[in-house]
């Protein structure tokens, strides 16, 4: 069984500079997993907070599963992220020391069928940094189009 990507956060690469990436599990209900199998998820505005030694993801939208009548939960409910205690402590220290944030990059099913979340410890980019990145990307695309194979 191969990994199946459910959703990716495409705007994250533009808005943030990634310092460290890691994988975590997520606590879900049965109807949420069935909805994920239909790829009804949006993590574009989601973020992670650490409260009382536990990590939680906010603004992760998982649409309600149609066939689940009374088992459906709120689509934007706060969900617990499954990390080891030492990882949470290390992340919390880095967040407070350097004023960083944790953002989700992608949500997927791994080989064993479990839902996993790729997270990144990130630093926000300023507007001029975002523009510079777009210019560089367009320049490289134009150079590749005309046939220049040099890496810049």
How far apart (Å, rounded) are the C-alpha atoms in residues 90 and 4? 29
Residue 1: the pLDDT is 53
Please give the span between the terminal C-alpha atoms of the chain, in angstroms, as a whole number: 38
- pLDDT tens string, the chain, 152 residues long: the values are 567 788 888 887 777 888 888 899 998 888 888 888 888 888 888 888 898 889 999 988 888 877 777 767 777 888 899 989 998 888 888 888 787 888 999 888 888 888 899 998 888 877 766 788 788 888 888 888 887 665 54
Residues paired with 107 in a beta bridge: 7, 117
- 3-state secondary structure at position 73: coil
Nearest to 13 by CA among 118, 113, 149: 118
How far apart (Å, rounded) are the C-alpha atoms in residues 142 and 134? 12
* Structural domains present in the chain: 4-125 (2.40.280.10)
| Pairing state between β 101-109 and 41-42 | unpaired
Residue 56: the pLDDT is 93
Give the Cβ contact number of residue 98 at 10 Å: 10
């Amino acid at each position: 069984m191969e990994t199946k990507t459910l959703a990716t956060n495409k705007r994250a690469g533009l808005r943030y500079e990634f310092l460290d990436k890691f994988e975590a599990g997520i606590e879900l209900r049965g109807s949420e997993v069935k909805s994920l199998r239909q790829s009804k998820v949006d993590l574009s505005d989601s973020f992670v907070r650490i409260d009382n030694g536990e990590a939680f993801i906010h603004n992760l939208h998982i649409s309600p599963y149609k066939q689940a009548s009374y088992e459906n939960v709120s689509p934007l409910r706060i969900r617990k992220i499954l990390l080891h205690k030492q990882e949470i402590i290390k992340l919390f220290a880095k967040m407070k020391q350097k004023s960083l944030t944790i953002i989700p990059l992608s949500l997927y099913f791994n080989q064993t069928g479990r839902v996993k979340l790729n997270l990144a410890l990130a630093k926000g980019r300023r507007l001029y940094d975002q523009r510079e990145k777009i210019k560089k990307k367009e320049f490289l695309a134009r150079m590749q189009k005309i046939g220049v194979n040099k890496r810049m």
